[in-house]
Chain A
Amino acid sequence: MKKLSFIIAPFMALSLCMGATAQAADYPSKPITLMTAFNAGGGSDVSHRLIEKYARGVISQPIVVTYKPGAGGEVGWTWLIGARADGYTVGGVDLPHIVLQPLLRAEGQPGYKTEQLNPLCNLVFDPDVVMVRKDSPFKSLEELVTYAKANPGKLKVGTVGKFTGDHLFLMQIEKLTGTKFTQVPYPGGGKAAPALLSGEVDCYFGSASNFLRMEGARGLAIATKERYELCPDVPTFAEQGYTLESAKYRGIATPPKFPAEAQKYLETKLAELCANPEYQQAVRGAGLTPYYTNGKEFGEIIKREKEKAVNVLKTYGFIK
């Protein structure tokens, strides 16, 4: 019977809210749409599904995940800034994606601006890792750097695309170590991971979440301050003599002119949700680290990441 009630509850919730109208006093009075700017099955999807799952009992209305995938998130985020600001549509946003895309967009091409996305809260944190195959001759970052210095451009590095967080990570490593790699931009982690494992590329500079779900890869260096809880045997850059911190952040943003009351409500409730140890355990199980910050702090992270990105892109001459 318990099982059945789990099946029926969402339907009841859906049917109850159909007739309700949005009024500030009884917010929320209908389900809240959480837009995912990527395909079902990706890292964003998993973290949003966990919010959907654990929102029950915390937020009085269900959270409903909907997908607006395309162009590395650009389609979804442009949709989000045009969404109705009635308090019932929010969207997942990823860093550094939302700072890189507007910076590098072709002239005349329409799209959102970073500032149009209203930060609501950050949810998870996913640091960047230098990965090689388990049987690779490179046993440490130093060996990789020495080889890359002697043979510029010879090592092939998989990333999840040009001008993505992985690419930014690659550029930072090149700048820091004075090396040159050849980037092979795959259209996603689902393609970059097998390319690493089959030896098509020599290394993969990507997210720890992809590293953690892959068998047969070795982490040479992780761009966190301290050793990372989820893979403590991977040494940090700092331990190997380089100062580098680089990560992806996944949070939630709201469209412009979103009602302040709704913003406040969701911020408080999501803080409560993110404090649930069961939720945190589930997030870690998916290879991510729960990292709740409120909207203000998330806004600061966005600002900080933007400064960093502008800095790196300028060095490489991608922007003026």
Chain B
Amino acid sequence: MFDISVVLSNLFEPMTLLLMALSACFGIIMGAIPGLSGTLGIALLMPFTFGLEPGVALLMLGSVYCGSEYGGSIPSILINTPGTAAALCTTFDGHPMAQNGHAQKALLTALISSVFGGLFGVCALIFLSIPLAHVAMSFGAPEQFWLCVFALTIIASLSSGQVLKGIIGALLGLLFACVGMDPITGIPRFTFNTMELMNGINVVPALIGLFAIPQALMLLKPAGEHGGMAPYRPAPGVFWQTVKEFFHRIWVVGVAGVVGLIIGIMPGAGGNIATFIAYNEAKRFSRKPEKFGTGIMEGIMAPEVCNNAVVGGAQIPMLTLGIPGSAPAAVMLGALMTHGLKPGFALFTEQSDVVFTYFIGLFLANIMILILGLVLIRIFVRVLQIPQNFLVVAIIAMSVVGAYSISTSAMDVISMCAGGLIGYILIRYKFGVAPMALGLILGGMMEEGFKLSLHLGAAEGNVVMFFFSRPQSLVLIALTVLSLVYSIWKEISAARKAGQAAA
């Protein structure tokens, strides 16, 4: 085992703590700016860690990762634009709550949830890394496909009452996700012989467009109409009140934490998909599912707990098997190797001081985020005091800069603008942007899982059996069917109730 005194003396060096706090703050800001993400933040910070000891270096990068997952919620709540793709679901309830005049409470809920989710993930990382490593192995290509199918059933609850419109939106998203090279054969599709479209439509700029541009246009409408914001009034004592209400709903942490952890461990899935599932499961477990989407705490807690729990989950297979569970974890893996650490079970015994310095440091980083968040919220909330006509210009400018900075490509700016136009049309005709966003996010992963399964099934000799016979697949199929039956039953009973009320 490791030497606790070495770990603690490593950790409580003032310089280490200072570097961690700065990194966490940097992460929060990277997360809060739409387009910039934790992945980019870690990659940018990496050269600055070369001279440091591996433990401290990893901690700095880990702090950025944790911070960015929290930071993403801030624009979701304040301007209805997700700061990171994993904070997309936070817009569903976070922004309505802010519109109702409770921006501060929404931001605090996101902060507390992020910290709890992060701690949940780190605990799993410390105590369950080795047993859970093999979970990563049990998800194969067919499970990847079925997980996406299961995630698609969420459309029913994202667009209750308007299921057909939801399905149209999601299909649009899936269609756009087909642009670019075929993930398996490399054949270009809908690229019009341009290099720019070879890699497909980049999801993040498209999401910025879908959310930010319609939001900016909505703000142009006279106050009081849809899209307007209630004036911000600071409320004293709101922190303790939020903490109290948070603990009344602590069950959400369990549900969303487990979802985040498991999907985090799956190679390549990450927080983008996990948060949708967590939001949906919290809604299903709730006694008042009809309130979701109107600005309730549970709706903010679920995605925020979840995307921070992914941070721990995604690092489990990265550290134990050298297989990253998410995009930022992939960059972390690169950093690990650049610092001369080799992932594997041996890392936990041979380099236990480094590993446990990192784990306990991550615990500390989450506490730092709580403190930093409390300070930063006071600054961020001032966004609401900016006159709307300035805010509109700022949102559009930020969207352009954010989209461009992802990979300094003009194509991303075009995707963002196109996304904005489509988003506005979708909202104007009451389709909502969430189903299309879901389709865009799932498309690539779903296609990849499907095609790989076709290859594997063909080699086995029976494609259909391959899709429907694996036990892990059957669990996901059962969940999909249950989810569909449940949604249909709910729609029917809601229609009947409405019928009775009318009669």
Contact = CB atoms under 8 A, between A and B. Distances in A.
B186 interface: yes
Nearest to A153: B459
A51 B390 CA distance: 45
A127 interface: no
Contacts, number: 156
Interface in B264-296: 267-268
Interface stretch (A3-11, A22-30, A243-251, A261-269): A3-11
Which residue, B43, B317, B340, has most C-beta atoms of chain A within 10 A?
B43
Contacts of B191: 109
Contact of A53 (B19, B338, B456): B338
Interface string B230-254: 0000000000000000000000000
Interface string A36-67: 00011110011001101100100000101111
A40 B334 contact: yes
Interface string B325-339: 001011111110110
Contacts of A194: 136-137, 267, 317, 321, 323
What is the size category of the interface that chain A forms with chain B? 35 or more
A197 B321 CA distance: 10
Given A10-B48, A193-B323, A198-B140, A71 B332 contact: no
B53 to A, nearest CB: 9
Given A39-B330, A214-B321, A282 B340 contact: yes
A75 B48 contact: no
Interface residues on B, range: 35 or more
B101 interface: no
A70 B194 CA distance: 13
Nearest to B60: A7
A117 interface: no
Interface string B346-367: 0000000000000000000000
Nearest to B196: A75
B462 to A, nearest CB: 13
A162 interface: yes
Contacts of B267: 190-191, 194
Interface stretch (B153-161, B177-185, B372-380, B391-399): B177-185
A256 interface: no
B199 interface: yes
A74 B198 CA distance: 9
Chain A interface helix/strand/loop/mixed? mixed
Nearest to A196: B137
Given A111-B195, A193-B323, A182 B455 contact: yes
B503 interface: no
A190 B330 contact: yes
B187 A106 contact: yes
B79 to A, nearest CB: 28
A153 B458 CA distance: 10
A184 B466 CA distance: 15
A228 interface: no
Contact of B48 (A6, A45, A184, A191): A6
Interface string A169-202: 0000000000000111111001101110110110
26 contacts: A3-B51, A10-B47, A40-B330, A41-B324, A41-B330, A41-B331, A45-B331, A69-B199, A69-B407, A71-B198, A106-B188, A109-B198, A154-B459, A156-B456, A185-B184, A187-B183, A187-B184, A190-B267, A190-B323, A193-B321, A194-B321, A198-B140, A214-B321, A215-B320, A285-B342, A286-B337
Interface of B: 15, 19, 39, 42-43, 46-48, 50-52, 56, 136-138, 140-141, 180-181, 183-188, 191, 193-195, 198-199, 267-268, 317, 320-324, 327, 329-335, 337-338, 340, 342-345, 407-408, 448, 452, 455-456, 458-459
